Structure 1
């Protein structure tokens, strides 16, 4: 957070809380012009990546809930939130992808390239 942001934060917004990833959430003290409700935003811990916001805080940011939801697991099938792995080594790569095996199985109706004049 920049120095100017820290200086003006106390006048215009209230800190609501932080999540388990260290992101800090804020809400404006008064209704925003032509918005009809208070503005809500997040200051990311580290690189700004929207997928770092857990679902509990996402609901609050988008005015789905009035207060942030509990970050406790409610059901045994719930998994821990993880950021979007696109563009990283953990990204999903199907069989035949150039960065996975590079070879795919031949199928019966395999692709034949179009050539002009055929």
Structure 2
């Protein structure tokens, strides 16, 4: 852990109270005294892994942004999928069938570039 990250984590633990933890291991905190611009207690997160905002699940996102007073604790419906972070740029990213980074996968001759003045 970097020195600044260690200091941030220690500062949050000393000045905030722990609210909860999500399935990814991220921990959520609310400041004891410090308020934001609107007079609401500041809410913070300590990430279990890399600092990536897309790993925050929807039930905690609303709480972090003061949309809800408590994290959503509704039972999951059978049609709901588990939360996934943004996978863009990773090998797990979705690709169109038949598409890919390798140009040799595309059939040749099926595309003609536009030329101005035609």
TM-score past 0.5 threshold: yes
1:89 deviation in Å?
Answer: 0.7
TM-aligned CA deviation for residue 19 of structure 1: 0.8
Question: Which structure dedicates a bigger proportion of its chain to helix?
Answer: 2
Q: Counterpart of 1:37?
A: 40
Q: Structure 1 residues 104 and 15, CA, compared in 2 at 3 Å: closer, same or farther?
A: farther
1:70 to partner: Cα distance:
1.4
User: Please, what TM-score do these two structures have when normalized by structure 2?
Assistant: 0.76
TM-score by length of 1: 0.76
Give the aligned partner of residue 111 of structure 1. Answer: 112
Q: Work out whether residues 36 and 42 of structure 2, in 8 Å CA contact, stay in contact via their aligned partners in 1.
A: no
Give 1:50-69 correspondences, 5 Å limit: 50-69=53-72
Task: Give runs of ≥4 in structure 1 deviating > 4 Å.
Answer: 104-107
Per-residue deviation at 1:72? Answer: 3.9
Pairs within 5 Å for 1:12-27? 12-27=15-30
Which residue in the other structure is 1:79 paired with?
81
Structure 1's unaligned 5+ residue stretches are none
Q: After TM superposition, give the deviation of residue 4 of structure 1 in Å.
A: 5.9
- When Rg is computed on C-alpha atoms for both structures, the one with the higher figure is 1
Number of positions where the alignment pairs a residue of Structure 1 with one of Structure 2: 113
Question: Pairwise CA RMSD of aligned residues?
Answer: 2.8
Higher strand share: 2
| Change in CA separation of 1:112 and 1:30 when aligned onto 2, cut-off 3 Å | same
For residues 82 and 100 of structure 1, the distance between their equivalents in structure 2, rounded to whole angstroms, comes to 29
